[in-house]
Amino acid sequence: MHLTGAHWIYAAFVVIVVATMAKRRDALIPCIAGTFFIGWSITGTALGAVETVFKSSLIATRELLDIILVISVIGGLAAALAEIGAERLMLEPARRFMRSPQRAFWIIGLVMLVASYFLWPTPAVALVGAVLVPVAEHVKLPAISAAVAMNIFGHGIALSTDYVIQGAPGISAKAANVPVESLIKSQFPLIVTMSLVTVTIAFVIARRDIAHALAEPADQASNKVTGPTAEEKTPRSRIATAAAITVPLAYLLVVVVLVTFRLRGGEATAVIGGVTLLLTAVFTMLAHGTESLDLITDYLIKGFGFGMKIFTPVIIMASFFYLGSPEIARQVFGENARGLLFDLASSISGLLPVNRITVGFLETTIGGIVGLSGSGFSGLPLTGTLAGAFASVAQLKTETIAALGQIVTVWVGGGCIIPWGVVPVAAICRVSPKELALKNFIPVVLGFIMTTIVAIILM
C-alpha cells in the first residue's frame, strides 16, 4: 500500500503525542499542530490546513455532544441535590450497615460504584468521602483502605465500563466505528476479569492494614477521626427526604426502561439526560419556589462547567485521532479520504507480525501510556481507532480490542495508579496521593495482565 506524506505526518505526531503524555504533559498543542500539517498535506494549501483544524474539532464535538450534554446535566443535578442536602440523606442507609472495617470496605466500594454510574466519579468522591469515610474510620477501616476502595470501584470499574451514561464506550465505539451496544457487550468478560483480580488483591492488602489498625491503642485510633461520627445526624427537610428517595428510584426505573425496551446508545443517553433535567427542575422548584427560575441556571452552569472541564482536552485529542478513521476523515476531507491509521496498520502488518498476542499487548501498552496524561478519556480516540485498524489487518474482533484499550486507559488515566490522578480521593480521605497510587499499583497491574490474556483469547 502506498503511503502519502499525510500518513507519515500522522504517524510522527502520534509518536509525539504519546511521548508527550508519557511525560505527564497535556498533548493538545501537538494534536492541533498534527491536524494542521495533515490538513496542509491533503488539501495542498495553508488555508485548507487552517480550515481542517476547525472542521475536525467541530466534527469531534458533534460526535461527542450527546455524551457531553448528559454528563453536564448530571453535574447540574448533583449541584442541586447538594444544595438541599439530599445527597447526604441518600447515603444514610449505607451508614447503618458499616459495623466492621471489612464490611465498611465493601460498602464504601459498592456505594461509590453505584454513585459513579449515575453521578460520575468526581461528584461521587465528594459525596461518599464526606458521609461514609468518617464512619469507616470510626469502625477502624484505615483511611488508605477506604481510598483504595473508592478508587477501584469508582474510577476503575464504574468509569471504565460506564454502562449508564455510556461516555467511555461511546467515545471508543465512535473511534473504532462499531455499535456502542456491541462494544459494551464485548467488554463484559474483560471487566469481570479486571474487577475480580483487582478487588480481590486490594481487599487482601486491606485486611492486612485493618489488622494493623485494630492492633493500635484506642486513643491513637480515635485521634484519626476528624469528620462526623456515625452517631451524628444529618439535618432533614421534607423536600430533601423526598429527593433522596425519588432520585434513586427514578434512575432505577430508567434502568428498567432501558432494559425492557432495549434502548442503547443515543436513545439511552437521551432518556437519562431528559430524566436528569426534569429531576433538576422539579426539585429546584420544590426547594426554592420562585427563586428556582434563577437558581436552576446556576446549577446547570456548574454542571456544564464540569462537563467542559472534562471534555475540552478530549475534543481536541479526538479531532486529531479521529482523522485516522476512514469515516471521520471523509467528513473532513471528502468522500475520497483515506483512514490514515488504518493504512499505517496495514503497512506495519507487512513488517511486523500482527496477531492477537502482539495486538493485545500493544493495545494495553498504548492505553497505559496515553492514560499517564491523567485523563481517562483523552486517550480513548487513539485506542479506539487503533482497535479498528488492527482488527481490519489481523481479522480480529474490533470490539474486544477497543474494550481492552478502553479499560486500561481509563484505569490508568481516570485516577487509579498515577499520583496526580488520585488527588481528589486522596484529599477527601486525608492520605498521601503517592501512597494511594502505590497501594493501587499491584492490584491494577495484575488486573491488566489477566485482562489482556482474556482479551487475547476472545479476539
Mean pLDDT within 238-252:
87
User: Given this model, what pLDDT does residue 398 score?
Assistant: 93
Helix axis angle, 5-22 to 340-348, nearest 10°: 90
Helix axis angle, 46-84 to 238-260, nearest 10°: 130
Q: Taking a C-beta distance cutoff of 8 angstroms, is the pair 329, 43 a contact?
A: no
Cα 348 from Cα 2, distance rounded (Å): 12
User: What does the pLDDT look like over 321-362, one tens digit per residue?
Assistant: 888 777 788 899 988 887 787 677 667 766 777 789 999 998
Give the pLDDT band of residue 420 (cuts 50, 70, 90). Answer: low
- Alpha helices by DSSP H, listed for 226-291, are 238-260, 265-288
- Among candidate residues 348, 347, 328, the one with its CA nearest the CA of residue 338: 328
Cα 442 from Cα 450, distance rounded (Å): 12
User: Given this model, what pLDDT does residue 236 score?
Assistant: 54
User: Given this model, what pLDDT does residue 228 score?
Assistant: 40
Task: Give the contacts of 443 (CB within 8 A, at least 6 positions apart).
Answer: 152, 197, 198, 199, 201, 202, 205
User: What does the pLDDT look like over 6-56, one tens digit per residue?
Assistant: 999 988 998 898 788 777 677 889 999 999 999 999 999 999 999 999 999
Query: Across the chain, what does the average pLDDT equal?
Result: 84
Give the pLDDT band of residue 419 (cuts 50, 70, 90). Answer: low
Cα 86 from Cα 41, distance rounded (Å): 55
Cα 376 from Cα 369, distance rounded (Å): 11
User: Given this model, what pLDDT does residue 91 score?
Assistant: 66
- Give me 16's grid cell: 509525539
- How many helices and strands, by DSSP H and E, does the chain display? 21, 0
Query: What is the DSSP-derived secondary structure letter of residue 233?
Result: P
- Alpha helices by DSSP H, listed for 322-397, are 326-333, 340-348, 356-371, 380-394
CA distances from 407 to 68, 327, 339 (A): 20, 24, 24
Task: Give the contacts of 65 (CB within 8 A, at least 6 positions apart).
Answer: none
Q: State yes or no: pLDDT of 223 exceeds 60.
A: no
User: Given this model, what pLDDT does residue 217 score?
Assistant: 61
Q: Taking a C-beta distance cutoff of 8 angstroms, is the pair 367, 16 a contact?
A: no
Cα 237 from Cα 200, distance rounded (Å): 40
Q: State yes or no: pLDDT of 211 exceeds 60.
A: yes
Q: Taking a C-beta distance cutoff of 8 angstroms, is the pair 108, 206 a contact?
A: no
This prediction has a pTM of 0.68
